[in-house]
Amino acid sequence: MSNLFDPIKIGDLSLKNRIILAPLTRCRANYERVPNQLMAEYYAKRSEFGLLITEATSVELQGVGYPRTPGIWSDQQLHAWSKITDAVHNKGGLIFLQLWHVGRISDSIYTNSTPVAPSAVKPNARISLIRPEKYFETPRELRQNEIKDIVISFQKAAQNAKKAGFDGVEIHGANGYLLDQFLQSSTNLRNDEYGGSLTKRLKFPLEVTDAVIDVWGSGRVGYHIAPRCDAHDMKDENPIETFSALVSELSKRKIAFICAREHQAQDSIGAKLRKLFDGVYIANEGFTKESAEKIISDGNADAVAFGKLSISNPDLVKKFAENIPLEQPNPKTFYGENKYLFNQAEPMPSQGFYESDKLGYTTY
């Protein structure tokens, strides 16, 4: 039997297998950021995965950076999410909510305000899913009292997630979003208590982690990292030192898991990070069944999260178990309808088409 089907204890929870649903942005909530029945059906269909991690979900309006991504700051959003957790639990599944703030990876078209960041460093990239194409603008540096307010927003979002019936939460600290911006040296140029030395760059991510642990307990909290520094114009002067320090601090807090988006290559640092973490280490990005089995058997991960293959194969667990050929996702149809796409070369898929579950996108 494949080691992917070995049960595993993650924090306070016992999982039936080591096949994890990676957080996948689908842009399927409504324009008020409220989840819907289509999303409930989507997650319920994947309840055989050992653990579902939801699409990235904004903790406040200022933290939004894509069309039709859900939030968890309002009562309306909370109640809508509760229908999704009920649908998953009714099928015997476990589901964590991913908590998200995009920081500088936003635009005033979504928030009617200038994006915020640890420092006023502009990403050298174009904004996703807006046409005609436009580049990111220079963000506004956050004041210290605003940083404290965002920590509170994460904590409130964690409370709302508990009220909505989730089994835990994952903090999105990866892919060039706000927590990652504070962590990495190219985007954090502050000279106060939140920037400069590595210890100070760690301060905000760890304050968020501690605030969320206060709500859930460490055994129901995960953390998402991207140690390649390869998204949204990110760069760190010493990734091994930076991420080793972060992982070591997260291990001290005894959180349930770290999920690392890092495709396998000769320069991968995941094996080194794994040795620093006492919890469950989940590998992610570009894995097949065979490569997932290998990284687990080699001891460099405890479980594997699957992204795009999970979209086109809601029955991925069954197909892995029975060696059934997989459906491949269609990259041209990754997103739902988007009113911010003007003059697009190709029309967006119809409602009926994107309900087919043969599309998907891993947020980065």
Active site residues: 177
Task: Report the b/e string of 309-326 with b at 16+ CB within 10 A.
Answer: bbbbbbbbbebbbeeeee
- Four-point Cα dihedral 153, 154, 160, 165, nearest 10: 170
CA distance linking residue 16 with residue 147, whole number of Å: 39
Please provide the DSSP assignment of 238-307 as one string. -HHHHHHHHHHHHHHTT-SEEEEE----TT--HHHHHTT-SSEEEEESS--HHHHHHHHHTTS-SEEEE-
Using an 8 Å Cβ cutoff, are 40 and 85 in contact?
A: no
Residue 241 CB neighbour total at 10 angstroms:
12
Residue 126 CB neighbour total at 10 angstroms:
11
